[in-house]
């Protein structure tokens, strides 16, 4: 059993950084920012990232780590699940709160060049020794807006991908959609292409709020898209909501929750609005206004708490700090759960993040710097990092805690570490604050802890990562 002195793992300020990649969302490789709201009683929504999705911090990944990435890709395949992420960066417009790698004002020739490059990248990664003969356990089309592509472009992309790979054995194939980009033909095309989980980025049902926040769609497009999706018979349909969009109030939020219940999706994902550095709102705040346009954290948590109460009363089950499911015996989150238990992820597309043979990596984030290597037959690797055994443990522990509980025996068996003993002062700190309870072999977050779990996670970071930029 590995047990280090707690002082070697936890000391110094709690002011660290966080990053949202949700449902594995791609980030701009050039942005940076500290964690925006670390202490449980911090309320103001300040500029900086909040949502944590990986460890060690992305700022620690460097070009010097690419030798480890290449070695990992050339290694024999591990006996862990394998996933594939495909980043489609195109959007109709950039939302004012968006901090992902997106491209707007797209020409057909740009889309064709990108699709060709992405297909070439999938061909190259399919030949990596680390992939071996493993089938894909899960596949995720993220963005940007994958549904920006037209039916013919989607068919062309999938046909080219299937020249190199197959996801016939995948238990989950997710596709992110923006309501206004959908048509009935496109929805049925996606069903025919084998998509099993449609994730619809509604965010809010109010036209005024959608427009204020720079969303491309309006409520009429939500209604139309939902009818097409419901008629296509996807095994799992997810709705995304954001608590605390600019202009949000209690009346509107209640209406959003009730409209969601009436639609009765298979799962609901709720994010709390934040202000990473590279958003329109953040730049406005940093250069002019002294007041944050976003509701404070306590208000946003009250809104999510209300949503949890209403949705559970309607038969949903809380699956994590951000997700609820209508039928937990039928709907799971293969992408999330496998990633949070250390699976391999082949990441393709501009600026995308992956994890292979125990090593983190990210693709290049510039348009030409991503595409030119592929057109020359080379992978567009940008930076990487080989975590230590302890860092891999911390990564899995903090991510799994976002589900609301930890099975201590899992970490004892996999890492030979007693996490209760290893971080006993930190667990005690959070227990005294009523963020969690500790039972025999199990740590369980209270509702209060679940609603602000991302503010708790940096307390488990190693000392050298307590005061560094995250991205």
Is residue 170 domain-resident? yes
pLDDT band at 96 (very low <50, low <70, confident <90, very high): confident
pLDDT of residue 98: 78
What's the pLDDT band for 310 if we cut at 50, 70, 90?
very high
Q: What mean pLDDT, rounded, does the chain reach? A: 89
Task: Examine the pLDDT at 466 and tell me if it is beyond 70.
Answer: yes
- Say yes or no to pLDDT of 53 above 50: yes
* Domain that includes residue 110, residue range: 65-337
Taking the C-alpha atoms of residue 63 and residue 308, their distance in angstroms, rounded to an integer, is 42
Question: Residue 184, Cα to own-chain centre: how many angstroms?
Answer: 27
- Whether residue 365 is contained in a domain is answered as no
Query: Does the structure show a pLDDT above 70 at 15?
Result: no
Question: Does 239 fall in a domain?
Answer: yes
Q: Is residue 262 part of a domain?
A: yes
If we measure between CA atoms, which residue out of 163, 73, 75, 162 comes closest to residue 125? 73
In a domain, 99, yes or no: yes
Domain assignment present for 366? no
Give the pLDDT confidence of 152-200 residue by residue, as tens digits: 999 999 999 999 999 999 999 999 999 999 999 999 999 999 999 999 9
Q: Within a 10 A sphere around the Cβ of 221, how many other Cβ atoms? A: 18
Least confident piece of the model among 3-7, 343-347, 376-380: 3-7
Residue 238 lies in a domain: yes
Across 417-424, average pLDDT: 97
Positive or negative, the CA dihedral 328, 304, 459, 443 is negative
The number of domains in the chain is: 1
Each residue's pLDDT tens digit, 422-463: 999 999 999 999 999 999 999 999 999 999 999 999 999 999
Distance between CA 227 and CA 388 in Å, rounded?
A: 48
In this prediction, residues 264-284 reach a mean pLDDT of 90
The reply to whether 370 falls in a domain is no
Q: What is the CATH number of the domain that holds 107?
A: 3.80.30.20
What's the average model confidence in pLDDT over 53-64? 95
Q: If pLDDT is split at 50, 70 and 90, which confidence band does 22 have?
A: very low
CB crowding 423-434: b at 16 or more within 10 Å, else e: beebbebbeeee
Which residue from 381, 336, 363, 345 is spatially nearest to 131, judged by alpha carbons?
A: 345
pTM of the model: 0.90
56 pLDDT tier (thresholds 50, 70, 90): very high
Beta-ladder partners of 294: none
């Amino acid at each position: 059993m590995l047990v280090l002195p707690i002082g070697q793992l936890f000391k110094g300020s709690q002011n660290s950084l966080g990053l949202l990649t949700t449902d594995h969302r791609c980030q701009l490789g050039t942005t940076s920012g500290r964690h925006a709201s670390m202490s449980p009683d911090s309320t103001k929504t300040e500029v900086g990232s909040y949502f944590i999705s990986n460890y060690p911090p992305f700022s620690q990944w460097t070009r010097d780590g690419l030798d480890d990435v290449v070695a990992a890709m050339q290694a024999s395949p591990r006996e862990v699940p394998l996933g594939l992420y495909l980043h489609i960066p195109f959007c109709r417009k950039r939302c004012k709160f968006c901090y992902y790698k997106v491209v707007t004002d797209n020409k057909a020739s740009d889309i064709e060049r990108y699709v060709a490059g992405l297909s070439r990248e999938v061909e190259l990664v399919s030949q990596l020794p680390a992939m071996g003969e493993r089938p894909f356990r899960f596949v995720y089309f993220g963005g940007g807006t994958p549904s920006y592509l037209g039916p013919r472009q989607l068919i062309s992309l999938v046909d080219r991908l299937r020249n190199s790979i197959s996801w016939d054995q995948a238990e989950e194939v997710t596709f992110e959609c923006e309501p206004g980009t959908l048509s009935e033909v496109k929805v049925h095309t996606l069903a025919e292409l084998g998509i099993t989980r449609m994730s619809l980025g509604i965010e809010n049902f109010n036209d005024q709020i959608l427009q204020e926040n720079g969303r491309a769609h309006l409520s009429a497009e939500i209604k139309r898209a939902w009818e097409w999706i419901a008629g296509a018979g996807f095994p799992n349909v997810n709705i995304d909501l954001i608590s605390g969009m600019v202009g949000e109030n209690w009346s509107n939020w209640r209406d959003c929750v009730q409209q969601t219940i009436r639609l009765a999706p298979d799962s609901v994902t709720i994010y709390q609005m934040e202000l990473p550095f590279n958003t329109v709102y953040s730049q406005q705040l940093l250069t002019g206004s002294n007041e944050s346009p976003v509701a404070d954290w306590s208000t946003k948590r009250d809104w999510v708490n209300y949503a949890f109460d209403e949705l559970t009363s309607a038969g949903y089950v809380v699956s994590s700090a951000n997700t609820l499911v209508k039928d937990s015996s039928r709907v799971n989150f293969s992408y999330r759960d496998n990633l949070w238990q250390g699976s391999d992820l082949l990441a393709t597309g501009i600026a995308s993040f992956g994890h292979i043979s125990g090593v983190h990596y990210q693709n290049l984030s510039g348009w030409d710097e991503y595409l030119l290597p592929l057109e020359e037959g080379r992978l567009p690797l940008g930076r990487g990092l080989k975590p230590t055994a302890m860092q891999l443990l911390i990564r899995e522990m903090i991510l799994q805690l976002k589900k609301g509980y930890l099975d201590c025996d899992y970490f004892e068996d996999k890492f030979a570490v007693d996490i209760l003993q290893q971080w006993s002062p930190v667990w005690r700190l959070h227990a005294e604050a009523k963020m969690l309870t500790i039972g025999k072999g199990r740590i369980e977050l209270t509702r209060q802890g679940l609603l602000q779990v991302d503010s708790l996670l940096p307390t488990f970071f190693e000392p050298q990562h307590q005061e560094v930029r995250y991205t």
